[in-house]
Amino acid sequence: MLHIAIVDDEASIREGLGRIVGKESEQFVVTGLFANGQELLDRLLLQDIAVDVVITDIRMPVVDGLELIGQIKALYQDIRCLLMSGFTDFEYARQALRYSAVDYLLKPINKKQLFTLLHKLEEEKEAGHRQAQRLRQGLLLSFLKNEPGLCSKLPELALPCPCFVVFALKGAAIEPLQDALEQLPGHLFPDWDLVETGEQVVALVGYAMDMPEEKELQALADQLQGMRLGSRLLVGTSRGYRQPALLGQAYHEAVNACELGIYDEADWSYHHYGAADERTADHGEEAEATALFAHSREALIQKLQILELSQIEACLQHLFTLSREQMLSQRTIVLLGRLILDAAAAEVQEWSQYTESSASKKILEALSASLHFNEMQTLFIAEFIGILKVIRNIRLEQAGKSVETVKRWIAKHYHEPAELSQLAGLVFLTPTYLSKLFKAETGMTITDYLIEIRINHAKLLLREACSLKVHEIGSKVGYPDPAYFNKLFKRMVGVTPNEYKRISR
């Protein structure tokens, strides 16, 4: 689209030329009619008018055509100029060429010659626009994904208009959504770029001469809704900005606004990141997820250690309820899910043994792809509890074998130090679960069972190994401290080791 300004001190000429240019092509937009060069320069300084081509008369009051071209070429390198005049003096044409005017047109204007020039300029503009867009899009993703401070290290990014806003769009299928957005009508923005972010979000960066107002963004969102871009679509917009270094912040705002749509029931959702969001802005998704998880972490870990599935599910339901009440962003919920999965991997010893290495990654990817909060909650809890059920069933099948394995180890290594965590590692159980399982199977704690085995061996040695002294027997059964061995033996047997040795002979 070619934006054309016409400058002529004769009203009939500039208005008539404006009409015929506007009728020639939808790609020709007459953005202003001016009586002299100063009027156009004033508007250009205000930056409130889009101009690609200036068609100007030479002889005008205040600022004539040649002076106008000179100032435009000094200040606005991208604007092309066409000179028109009723005078055939070659000196005018020579000065026009010196100022790099595109061409020199004689009055009355030859419409065919004028339109040929304008169509050529429109083609050149589009070719330049495509090249600039390719270069810009090569940098845009880096700007969108980085914090503002990091963008200073990237090459300079020139935007096609002074102001920009970021739309974040999320649908069930990214490629069809992106294909549909490629066909966006030009009236949505004077210029725009489409960026696939790799986060199941499509970013639409719209550029405008003036800072867009919230009601204008709502109107643009309404137009997107009318385009039927998908069966379920979440849309969010950032605030308007001017500095390219703030593209990352704008993208973050747009995604946060977009993700609020997971709490909406309708197939179409639109949210704008406004002043209210700024007041309640989080200090980071990771900090938010960590703070929420901290309230339930200990209770969840206790339930994980003994695989009390109903209570684990109740704990997860509580966490998701809090997430809904606080309307956490989708990324925060995904981070919360990662913390829960990490806790399970740390506390459930069989997690890595009986779970595919990619299982956690697939669960988190499914959470990120979801478009409904309820779907995220149902999916995560079902997958998480499903894995734990498999492990619990395996534990039940191996319960007796696990206790027997520990008993055999104690029988063989009773004289060695025996840490509960070491014994649990032998049978791939958590220490807490092994303790409960052992007590249920034997009626004794592991510590009491170990003491009983050691004292029985000590009694045997006291009866049969006459050459061994009491403290030597204590060391052989795992009690190198004589005082402790004597005290423990008397508590268990009722007499001291020496008394037992004398009585048993």
Q: State yes or no: pLDDT of 87 exceeds 80.
A: no
The answer for residues whose C-beta is within 8 angstroms of residue 173's C-beta and 6 or more apart is 230
The answer for residues whose C-beta is within 8 angstroms of residue 327's C-beta and 6 or more apart is 260, 263
Q: State yes or no: pLDDT of 382 exceeds 90.
A: yes
- Whole-angstrom distance, CA of residue 473 vs CA of residue 80: 105
Q: State yes or no: pLDDT of 505 exceeds 90.
A: no
Sign of CA dihedral 70, 81, 4, 76: negative
Where are the domains positioned within the chain?
A: 2-109, 152-279, 285-387, 399-503
- Mean pLDDT of all residues belonging to the chain: 86
Looking at domain 152-279, its CATH class is: alpha beta
- Whole-angstrom distance, CA of residue 197 vs CA of residue 216: 25
Q: Are strands 53-57 and 80-85 parallel, antiparallel or unpaired?
A: parallel
Nearest alpha carbon to residue 335 among 319, 358, 348: 319
> Which pLDDT score, from 0 to 100, does residue 97 have?
67
CATH fold of 2-109 reads Rossmann fold (3.40.50)
Largest CA distance in the chain: 141
Q: State yes or no: pLDDT of 378 exceeds 50.
A: yes
Q: State yes or no: pLDDT of 4 exceeds 50.
A: yes
Mean pLDDT, rounded, for 109-121: 90
The answer for residues whose C-beta is within 8 angstroms of residue 60's C-beta and 6 or more apart is 7, 8, 9, 35, 36, 37
Is the entire prediction scored with pTM above 0.85? no
Q: State yes or no: pLDDT of 95 exceeds 80.
A: no
Coil, strand or helix at 7: strand
State both tokens at 256: 């946060």
Looking at domain 399-503, its CATH class is: mainly alpha
> Which pLDDT score, from 0 to 100, does residue 282 have?
47
**Side chain identity at 137, as an amino acid letter?**
Q
> Which pLDDT score, from 0 to 100, does residue 230 have?
67
> Which pLDDT score, from 0 to 100, does residue 477 have?
94
Using alpha carbons, list the distances in angstroms from residue 333 to 223, 329, 330, 337, 368.
30, 7, 5, 6, 9
Q: State yes or no: pLDDT of 416 exceeds 60.
A: yes
Question: Do 152-279 and 2-109 have the same topology in CATH?
Answer: no
What per-residue string of b and e applies to 222-246 under the rule 16 or more CB within 10 Å gives b? eebeeeebbebbbbbbbbbbeebbb
pLDDT digits (tens, 9 = 90+) for 130-184: 776 677 776 788 888 775 555 556 667 778 888 999 999 888 776 777 777 776 6
> Which pLDDT score, from 0 to 100, does residue 279 have?
42
**Angle subtended at Cα 183 by Cα 180 and Cα 186, rounded to the nearest 5 degrees:** 140
Number of other CB atoms surrounding residue 413 within 10 Å: 12
> Which pLDDT score, from 0 to 100, does residue 283 have?
53
pLDDT digits (tens, 9 = 90+) for 185-243: 655 676 788 887 877 888 889 888 888 888 888 888 887 777 766 678 899 999 999 98
Q: Give the phi and the psi of residue 245 in degrees, each rounded to 5.
A: -65, -15
Greater pLDDT, 318 or 131: 318
pLDDT digits (tens, 9 = 90+) for 448-494: 999 999 999 999 999 888 889 999 999 999 999 999 999 999 999 99
Q: State yes or no: pLDDT of 323 exceeds 50.
A: yes
- What confidence tier does 280 reach under pLDDT thresholds 50, 70, 90? very low
